[in-house]
Each structure stands twice: as C-alpha cells, then as structure tokens.
Amino acid sequence: MFLGEYSHNLDKKGRLSVPVKFRSQLGSSAIVTKGLEGCLFVYPKDSWTEMASRISQLPISSSNARAFARLMLSGAMEVEIDKFGRALLPSYLREYAGLGEEAVVAGVGNRVEVWDRKAWQSYSKDSESKAADIAESLQEWEV
C-alpha cells in the first residue's frame, strides 16, 4: 500500500526521484497515466493490468466510458525506474499535470499520484476544508 506525501524536484530532463518507500512496490518499472484533477497516476504493472482490464470492459456505447478509457489508456506509458530511483516522465504527461520543477509524490493506497507542488497545495487546502462533508457523503460505502 502506498502512503505518505513527499516533495521532490524534477531535473532538467524531466526525471523524478521515486520515494524510497515506494521503490520496492513499483519495481524496476511502472505505468504512469493521466490522472484526475490534473495529476498523474502511477501504478505497479500488475495493478495496472487489472485496472486496464476493467476499463476495457466498459461499454463502448457509453460516451463517458469511451472518454474515460481514452484518458486512462491512451495517456498511459510504461516508465523505467533507474538504479538511482529516478523515472523519466514523458513530456506529454508533464505538460498534462502542469509539472514544474517542484512536485509532490503522494501515496494513495493502490496508486501513487504526482502533482505540481502548487496545484497539490491548492487541492489539499480545498479538500481539507470540505473533509467532513466528503466523509459524510461516503457513508453509504461504510468509509
């Protein structure tokens, strides 16, 4: 399980240092894709295979299903994690997430999210102010 929040810088080549605590779970490569709310989602390959399979089973007749599949599947790329624990993020994914030099790498259970630092701060502040309402809305799922 991925947990925690880590601040890391991207180098000039677009490489991001993967937090040490995440490296053993990700292995030597991972799948990075366009996430929601303007971040990137990072999955271990086996978790991604399951996720991609579920997405592929969505009904092609649904425009929302097609749009979601396009976002997640066509936006995905396998990235290698080098011996120094760095992953080169493709430029189209860095642009999608608005990544500058400073990034936040957040563990969110079954995935890792990569955010531009300022976007993360804004998102966190907003969601923290609504935390009680969000928790109440999830009651039906027994969260």
CATH assignment of the domain containing 96: 3.40.1550.20
DSSP state of 47: H
What's the pTM value of the predicted model, to 2 decimals? Answer: 0.91
- pLDDT confidence bin for 27, thresholds 50/70/90: very high
* Number of separate domains in the chain: 1
Computed over its alpha carbons, how large is the radius of gyration of the chain? 16
* Digit-coded pLDDT (tens) for 84-109: 999 999 999 999 999 999 999 999 99
- In 1-143, which ranges are continuous DSSP H helix? 20-26, 45-56, 63-69, 91-96, 117-129, 131-137
Strand order in the sheet with 77-80: 2-9, 102-109, 111-116, 40-43, 29-34, 77-80
CA-angle at 104, arms to 98 and 106, nearest 5°: 120
pLDDT in tens, 36-52: 999 999 999 999 999 99
Domain that holds residue 82: 2-141
pLDDT tens digits, 59-77: 999 999 999 999 999 999 9
* Helix, strand, or coil (residue 110): coil
